[in-house]
Structure 1
């Protein structure tokens, strides 16, 4: 057993100078720690972060002492009960996620196994493909995708070479094909739209500029046109899901999922399964403000997400994915990221 003895909260600084809450879970056999990210509209400034720490130390911690850390679903449901709202507006989604993941880490450590194995089981061996963000202009954020990765470090080689070129769609499109030839890999671009464009223009961009992944913004009709007018391209429906609550394969075939938007680890697990049930590819994604933490690759692998969307500066996540690949050895394989 791994009985929770103590839960400790503290303030942590995220990239971009935002504050969040970090949680330690101490059991009689092990220890787990996780700091929650923050999404596009940060709510946890320093005063709120201090309040979150107080919630952990004075309310959540005392309530969860004595639970067995392996009872993840029970603990996560109890976090909802402690909060008493339908959206974690009392204790905060950041706080709930930090506690939940720290509990899972403590449980994994008590069994002396990796977090991805604890979440996904013995046959969790398919490594997620990193979709790496490396720059932006006024129209797009740019990502690089290597569909036929042989090693995790191949993605870094591709990113480093692309950084030698100017950040424009036309030049990066040509550069991605050139870099692919130099590396002997299939290197493609991904784009996240930063403003709405006419449907015909979006279709033209996907067709002409070596695009393998696009996260559009626009009306449901735009998504329908993209699904109908493209082949082998991942159409990410995050905008459509968050604005219209549409979860439907006929509109998009991929969905980037930020754990902070779901609540607990159990909520994340259930939502990923809902996405898969719609035959939509789940892509586990960083939030805008992230801690220097190695957990995301474990979540992506354990939840069997074929890809994860990260920034090129997230070296701790890339290094951890490389360590996992080494740990898995011949059992591990990197998924060919194809629609």
Structure 2
């Protein structure tokens, strides 16, 4: 049965020593658990985590008992109703996400289905391209991606080769390393950049044009994004900054969008944004938050929602391994999504 019988909250520890709320959802024959990540605001101290647990145990849990866990959209809508604000400022987006994902995992467990198949349906066979963090610098964070990925593990081989050949912590050093790694492994390996501080438009354009860059997440105004879209070819321009700061969702400015579930609140909100991006011909990229647990659900969500790419941090071994397991589970039916700009 998928009727919710109990909802339990507890304090969880994330990487980086941050605290968050973990939620268990129980039915008579199913169980789901999820610990919510934290993104830009790392100041969720133990007192705030305990407050979130109280919200789950005293308010949210009692309200959800008796709901059918398979009615995801209804439950997610009710979480907004319980909160009563426009941005989950009462119960918190992290608490809402923990409950929402735990509900989905409980329903999937009743049906004895992997979460990705439960979310995406029978014909879910597509795997996202991993974009893997390699290092951080003053102006950029550096990532590695493989354009002609055949196996998920190809990105690990690429990462190791890039680290082996990188002679410094600069764009040029990592760009040269990707080219050497390409020659040695026979893979089309490229560099990803996440801008950390404002730079002049011409400088950003020059960096992208003069180096082996396939993905960039810029920081700046609309002009920078327009120039990057117009002046680059087959480069993924990630519009997270414009979307977050100015609520712009428009293919004219960018062709990819990093989406962090913690910034939305529920699985239904995540599903809607992924579909909105696709309708604008923008590639949705499911991205980790800065502080996460080792829970494997993010890989399942990316596959279930057919996101063409995922951004992983260097220490995200559990999620990357789960993506490998999903690929094994799909077998010959599985294929890696073509990640085209």
TM bin (shorter chain): over 0.9
Query: How much has 1:123 moved relative to structure 2?
Result: 0.9
Q: Is the 8 A contact 1:10 1:22 kept in 2?
A: yes
Query: How much has 1:29 moved relative to structure 2?
Result: 1.0
The aligned counterpart of 1:172 is 174
The aligned counterpart of 2:134 is 134
The aligned counterpart of 1:216 is 218
User: Aligned partners of 1:228 and 1:151: how far apart in 2?
Assistant: 32
Query: How much has 1:43 moved relative to structure 2?
Result: 4.5
The aligned counterpart of 2:124 is 124
Q: Which SS does the other structure have where 2:9 is aligned?
A: strand
User: Aligned partners of 1:94 and 1:173: how far apart in 2?
Assistant: 36
The aligned counterpart of 1:114 is 114
Runs of 4+ in 1 over 6 A off after TM superposition: none
The aligned counterpart of 1:237 is 239
Q: Kindly indicate whether residue 332 of structure 2 is the aligned counterpart of residue 320 of structure 1.
A: no
User: Aligned partners of 1:102 and 1:185: how far apart in 2?
Assistant: 38
Query: How much has 1:338 moved relative to structure 2?
Result: 2.3
Q: Is the 8 A contact 2:163 2:177 kept in 1?
A: no
The aligned counterpart of 1:87 is 87
The aligned counterpart of 2:254 is 252
1:162-190 CA distances to partner (integer Å, 9 max, x unpaired)? 22222211111111011011111100000
Q: Is the 8 A contact 1:306 1:335 kept in 2?
A: yes
User: Aligned partners of 2:292 and 2:136: how far apart in 1?
Assistant: 18
TM-score norm. by structure 2 comes to 0.98
User: Aligned partners of 2:281 and 2:45: how far apart in 1?
Assistant: 38
1:251-304 CA distances to partner (integer Å, 9 max, x unpaired)? 000000000001111111011111111110000000111111111111111111
TM-score norm. by structure 1 comes to 0.98
Gaps of 5+ in 2: none
Q: Is the 8 A contact 1:149 1:336 kept in 2?
A: no
Q: How many pairs align?
A: 339
Q: Which SS does the other structure have where 1:178 is aligned?
A: helix
Q: Is the 8 A contact 2:285 2:308 kept in 1?
A: yes
Moved more, 311-320 or 195-204: 195-204
The aligned counterpart of 2:40 is 40
User: Aligned partners of 1:338 and 1:181: how far apart in 2?
Assistant: 22
The aligned counterpart of 1:291 is 293
User: Aligned partners of 1:158 and 1:81: how far apart in 2?
Assistant: 46
Q: Is the 8 A contact 1:147 1:338 kept in 2?
A: no
**1:50-69 counterparts in 2 under 5 A?**
50-69=50-69
1:11-62 CA distances to partner (integer Å, 9 max, x unpaired)? 0011111100000001011100000000111342110000000111111111
1:307-327 CA distances to partner (integer Å, 9 max, x unpaired)? 011112100011000000000
Q: Which SS does the other structure have where 2:274 is aligned?
A: helix
Gaps of 5+ in 1: none
User: Aligned partners of 1:77 and 1:43: how far apart in 2?
Assistant: 28
1:220-249 CA distances to partner (integer Å, 9 max, x unpaired)? 111001111111000000011111111110
Moved more, 271-280 or 162-171: 162-171
Q: Is the 8 A contact 1:284 1:305 kept in 2?
A: yes
The aligned counterpart of 1:12 is 12
Q: Kindly indicate whether residue 285 of structure 2 is the aligned counterpart of residue 269 of structure 1.
A: no
Moved more, 12-21 or 36-45: 36-45
